[in-house]
Amino acid sequence: MHIDIAQRRYAVRLDAPLDISIPLRFNGEQPNFFNAPRATAQPFESGSFSGDTRRGGSCNVEMYRLIPHCNGTHTECAGHITHERVSLRNVLQTGFVPATLVTLVPEPARQTSESYEPDLQPQDRVITRRLLQHIWPRLRPGFGIAFILRTHPNDAEKRRRDYSKHPAPFFTLEAMDFLNDRGVEHLLVDFPSIDRAN
């Protein structure tokens, strides 16, 4: 399959996708935010029916308990911060979206003059306009609609990180203005929230 973006043709390998997700392991180690209860799964049972083939059930039927904002990565839209309960399905109307994946090391807040409300604290780690300005010229034309940010360190510990003990980085106000000014419509990150946990 081929697609044309910004007057260039690209081959798309639908048979060879690259998985960059952080899978949620129900009942196992998983990222955690705000000391939320861990995501769990258990077989559904009703009368004599068991939703577990290991217990004699005819099929596996699981009940899940999770808090998407706290038990791993998730997708949100404006409805996350507005009184109106806007759903992602109400705003995401496109199919495939050209995306760029970049890896950055968050900056210590004490090394930037950028801002946040409430004020940055010395221990904060932030994604700054300066970091984004540095990598932006390397983006291919047409691939800024969706911007995927992976942060370092990008080790296996990220799959089970307790963000109450290891606070996540977040974006400065100037960094968000920068992305908005460049027409980014979809921002994907590998930490629980683009703003500070407070």
Strands (DSSP E) found in the chain:
2-5, 8-11, 40-43, 45-46, 49-50, 62-65, 99-104, 107-108, 125-127, 146-151, 170-171, 186-189
The answer, as to whether pTM is greater than 0.95, is no
pLDDT reading at 47 higher than 80 = yes
Phi-psi region of 78 (alpha: psi -120 to 50; beta: other; left: phi over 0): alpha
Q: How confident is the model at residue 48 (pLDDT cuts 50, 70, 90)?
A: very high
Contact in structure between 190 and 151 (CB atoms under 8 Å): yes
Calculate mean pLDDT across residues 65-88.
86
For tokens 């003059």, the residue is 113
* Whole-angstrom distance, CA of residue 82 vs CA of residue 144: 25
**Helix, strand and coil percent figures for the chain, each rounded to 5:** 20, 25, 60
Contact in structure between 33 and 193 (CB atoms under 8 Å): yes
pLDDT of residue 153: 87
CA 131, distance to chain mean position in Å, is 19
